[in-house]
Amino acid sequence: MSNVSTKISTTVRNIATLALLRASFGVGRLLRPNATLQRAARLFSTPFASSRSRALASPTLGAKESRLDIDGLSIATYVWGEPGRQPYVLFAHGWSSHGTRVAQWVAPLRQAGYAVVAFDQAGHGRSDGRQTTLPDFACHLMAVARHFGPAAAVIGHSLGGAATAVALARGLQAERAVLIAPAADPLAAMERFSRFVGLGAGFATRLAAFFEARTREPIEALQAHHNAPLIARPALIVHDLEDREVPWHEGERYARLWHDARMLTTRGQGHNRIADNPGVIAETLRFLRGDMVGERMVSSPNLPFGVC
């Protein structure tokens, strides 16, 4: 079968699978609302299985691999250099990703004199676990940071960016922060998920209440506008205008409300390519050196999210 035929076949299967998923959720919401809520919550908090296969297939580039026991889970870590003797950069990957996603950053950071630390979140890559949430992401990021000590910088992509902000607001020690395509609002993420699976955006309030009861963590405590103003260190927010997974205005929210943050906007990189973009890496290195990178966003309590 040709590559074109394979792609068409895969697309058709994906469309059919999504149609069946939406139909089953639509029927379940009417006939078995509680079971459907639990099913939706389980799907929302379960990383794609491809996270593990991609991690196992990805080269570790000579990293020192070890494991940490965090909340009874064995968490895989990857270290390049000597974080005990060198300033180090801590990398927080996004949803359904893995620690070795940092591969394109390792050589530039090492050449700049930094050690690099990455890890697989629970349920991701080589780590234990099956389900995880934003509070788990932030908690495990803080645990890794405590193990390796204060970082010169922390870089978070997507949900890893959201976890980075939450962790910094709660005491994570890092001199600087870089958030790439960061998610700003878990309720908005639940609305996007609910629409995608055919439950409608309004279902997100029920999903949020479910997770609040399960994690004992108010959703508002995880939102960017409650955390960004609490963080007193320089930050660079990087986001693409054409990001289809996490809208640009979520990154803008961080940049506007974070007192010492600037925003670097790209175009045409989307949600994932931006994390490997050589220009973004180069600008991040400039930011880590103390150069002025990006633009300062205007902040006002009367300005709605998404407007600058």
Per-residue pLDDT of 120-131, as tens digits, reads 999 999 999 999
Q: Cβ-count burial of 56 within 10 angstroms (0-12 exposed, 13-18 middle, 19+ buried)?
A: exposed
Measured CA to CA, the distance from residue 277 to residue 280 in angstroms comes to 5
Residue from 200, 277, 156, 169 nearest 33 by CA:
200
Per-residue pLDDT of 130-142, as tens digits, reads 999 999 999 999 9
Order of strands, sheet of 235-240, starting from the edge strand that comes earlier in the sequence? 64-70, 73-80, 115-119, 88-92, 151-157, 174-180, 235-240, 261-266
Domains delineated in the chain: 49-185+214-289 (3.40.50.1820)
H or E stretch covering 3: helix 3-31
- The amino acid at residue 232 is A
Ranking 90-99, 179-188, 278-287, 293-302 by mean pLDDT, the lowest is 293-302
Ranking 57-61, 288-292, 301-305 by mean pLDDT, the lowest is 301-305
Count the Cβ atoms, other than its own, within 10 Å of residue 141. 25
Q: What is the pTM of this model?
A: 0.90
Count the Cβ atoms, other than its own, within 10 Å of residue 230. 14
Tell me the pairing of strands 73-80 and 88-92: unpaired
pLDDT the model gives residue 192 = 94
Band of pLDDT at residue 7, cut at 50, 70 and 90: very low
- For residue 108, pLDDT over 70 is answered with yes
H or E stretch covering 203: none
Count the Cβ atoms, other than its own, within 10 Å of residue 190. 24
Quote the tokens at residue 120: 């697989």
pLDDT the model gives residue 201 = 82
pLDDT the model gives residue 301 = 52
CA 95 to chain centre: 5
pLDDT the model gives residue 10 = 41
Band of pLDDT at residue 30, cut at 50, 70 and 90: confident
DSSP states along 6-68? HHHHHHHHHHHHHHHHHHHHHHHHHH-HHHHHHHHHHHHTS--THHHHHHHHS--TT-EEEEE
Per-residue pLDDT of 255-296, as tens digits, reads 999 999 999 999 999 999 999 999 999 999 999 999 999 999
